[in-house]
Amino acid sequence: MRVLYFHTLRQVCGRDADEIADPPATAGALLDLLIARHPGLAPHEPTLLIARNHEFVGRSEPLDPADEVALMPPVSGG
């Protein structure tokens, strides 16, 4: 599974993406795994947006190893 990091999360993780060889079953479990790998994500966790294959999903959503997941901070605009 490919996990993409956007905006400030790139700086927090020190990279644009991660490859997860044996991903967990849900988006929330994946987020827990990523926070364990990149502890700097923890303060952002309550407001992170998770997208699976270009669609936003909740933390209880199931994941497939072939999915592409993106993590984003909240987005605002005018």
Say what the pLDDT of residue 76 is: 66
3-state secondary structure at position 57:
strand
Per-residue pLDDT for 55 more than 90?
A: yes
| Domains in the chain with CATH codes | 2-72 (3.10.20.30)
- Region 46-52: mean pLDDT is 95
HSE at residue 34, side-chain half, CA atoms within 13 A, is 33
Q: Quote the pTM value.
A: 0.90
Per-residue pLDDT for 77 more than 80?
A: no
Per-residue pLDDT for 78 more than 90?
A: no
DSSP string, 8-29: HHHHHHTSSEEE-SS--SBHHH
